[in-house]
Amino acid sequence: MKGFLLRCVFLWTMLPRSNMQSAVPATVLNCCEGDVLILLDSSGSIANYEFSRLLRFAGELFQPFSLGRGHVRVGLLQVGTKPNLVFGLDDHSSQESLQKAMQHVSHLQGDTNTVAALGVAQQLLTENVPKILLWMTDGVQPGDVDEPMTKLKAQGVSVLIVSTIHGNYQVLQRAVTPPLESHLYSVDIDNIEIITEDLREAIIKIIRAERLRVVHLTSHSAVLQWRPVLSADNGYYELWYNSMSDTDPVTRRTVSGDSSWVELTNLQPDTTYTASLRPESNQRLFNTLSVNFTTLPDVLSPSVVSVSDSGPHQIRVSWGPLQPARVLRYTLEYGVIPSGRVQTVTLHGQKNSTVLRGLEPGTQYLVTVSALHKNGREIAMSVKACTQEAALPALTDLRLTPVERQEVQVTWQANQEGLKGYWLSWERENSHMSSSKSSCLSVPYFTFDTAHTPCPEQPSVCVSSLQFRPGRRVMLHSRESLRFQPQGLTDCSRVCSKKHG
């Protein structure tokens, strides 16, 4: 015990205060998976001041960890006359809520009934992950903890102890899980921060995730991931896997030492496999990691059929998943519902969409996509699809209204969105001269008058209700003949200057 105490004294006199809260490497965050139960002595023998220092210390200790299932779960159990579970292992999955909870723990006072609390701990630390009991105590009369501690350790729990200096060392020494140097700390409460990093490292060593995980699964493949323990030049991984059926031979592979994941392909759907990974290095011996997983049930194309881009005379039919290695060809059958003639299109197995043309507008069709698989199976799926109503001409309802003797108002209806301007031309009907005239319109209201029209000898035309929508060329006859051709603005000015320039 003396040597141990000396070590601590030595440490805290050597360390400058400013170093005590050193930055924690970000790599710590997702390093670990395990359960840590803090067993906090909250009896009357602990001073209030000590109690709050211990809590602050515990908060800092766990600050860098990702919390929650699959990461680190932290619980807090108080020792008093009766045990008090402040929060359980599943209560805090964010640092914010854990730290807040740590700040609001009240001091129980009363006796140090550690044995009763250990009984609760035994029931809490049962999951099949690395488990730690972090006992924080003043070490004064903890009761007969030998037997419950032995039980806990037999249950796979590592016992780590932080004791303020007056503790009964023999008891603590028997309770702690070896090695003592990193698992048992006796410190002066005023300098407790000096052990934060060492203790955290000891915890990380225990709960460092040593697991082979399945991170992605399909019907024919699986991606396995693990925490890297080698590098390219100091070893490699030996991987082997097979389905759990006895007849399946084991597949073996070596994986480079700098890898942390591998994809297993060509697996059978809906089958349970077992995979193992052993890091091979001549510097250290590593445990073999194993995992069992079941591939997803098979998906046979087509499992999805959809319709898009439908127009009055066509629809696009798409399907998936694309399985070019497994599908020989697709056949599409389509006909008007309920009793139209059925037409058929055959497509290569590499296609996953096609456009059906020559359809009736505003009509409902039944479309069936069937795939002939290389193994002889035929899978079919149907959808109903409607063609659009026949489209209206883009520009309709052209009207000419005489306004004054020399003026006529032109209005029309546009049936499409998005156009920036129109091209307008007019001519005198009974003229024998070539007198066709035109102009660009790019504002919603436009009036020609004799002064500004490109051809002053022509009757002026007043255009109103001009809507900025696209359309297509229409020709309507009235007293004047007018042609409308919608244009984009830039096109429009180009056309104008060409015509009149």
Ligand X SMILES: *[C@@H]1O[C@H](CO)[C@@H](O)[C@H](O)[C@H]1NC(C)=O
Q: How many residues bind ligand X (CB under 6 A)?
A: 9
* Closer by beta carbon to ligand X, 254 or else 292: 292
The distance of closest approach from Cβ of residue 355 to ligand X in the complex, given in angstroms and rounded to an integer, is 14
The distance of closest approach from Cβ of residue 147 to ligand X in the complex, given in angstroms and rounded to an integer, is 31
Q: Please give the single-letter amino acid code of residue 177.
A: T
Distance CA 280, CA 1 (A): 39
Which range touches ligand X (CB under 6 A), out of 199-207, 235-243, 290-298, 407-415?
290-298
* Closer by beta carbon to ligand X, 122 or else 331: 331
Residue among 120, 291, 359, 461 that touches ligand X (CB under 6 A): 291
Query: Nearest Cα to 224, choosing from 278, 260, 272, 269?
Result: 260
* Closer by beta carbon to ligand X, 63 or else 274: 274
Mark 464-499 as b/e (b = at least 16 C-beta within 10 Å): eebebbbbeebebeeebebbbbbbeeeebeeebeee
The distance of closest approach from Cβ of residue 291 to ligand X in the complex, given in angstroms and rounded to an integer, is 5
Residue of this chain nearest to ligand X (CB atom): 320
What kind and span of H or E run contains 180? helix 180-183
Residues in the chain: 501
Q: Does 352 bind ligand X (CB under 6 A)?
A: yes
The distance of closest approach from Cβ of residue 275 to ligand X in the complex, given in angstroms and rounded to an integer, is 9
Site string for ligand X, 317-346 (x = CB under 6 A): -x-xxx------------------------
The distance of closest approach from Cβ of residue 144 to ligand X in the complex, given in angstroms and rounded to an integer, is 37
Number of Cβ atoms within 10 Å of the Cβ of 402? 12
Which residue stretches of 28-140 are H helix? 48-62, 95-103, 114-124
β partners of residue 427: 481
Distance CA 24, CA 20 (A): 11
The distance of closest approach from Cβ of residue 298 to ligand X in the complex, given in angstroms and rounded to an integer, is 17
Residue among 99, 113, 219, 274 that touches ligand X (CB under 6 A): 274
Please, which residues have CB within 8 angstroms of residue 251's CB and are 6 or more apart in sequence?
Answer: 240, 241, 242, 264
Which range touches ligand X (CB under 6 A), out of 165-173, 255-263, 285-293, 373-381?
285-293
* Residue with tokens 């139209």, as numbered in its chain: 340
Which range touches ligand X (CB under 6 A), out of 165-173, 184-192, 289-297, 309-317?
289-297
Residue among 256, 292, 364, 431 that touches ligand X (CB under 6 A): 292
Q: Does 290 bind ligand X (CB under 6 A)?
A: yes
* Closer by beta carbon to ligand X, 352 or else 487: 352
DSSP-based three-state secondary structure for 465:
coil
Distance CA 207, CA 130 (A): 5
Which residues form the interface with ligand X (CB under 6 A)?
Answer: 274, 290-292, 318, 320-322, 352
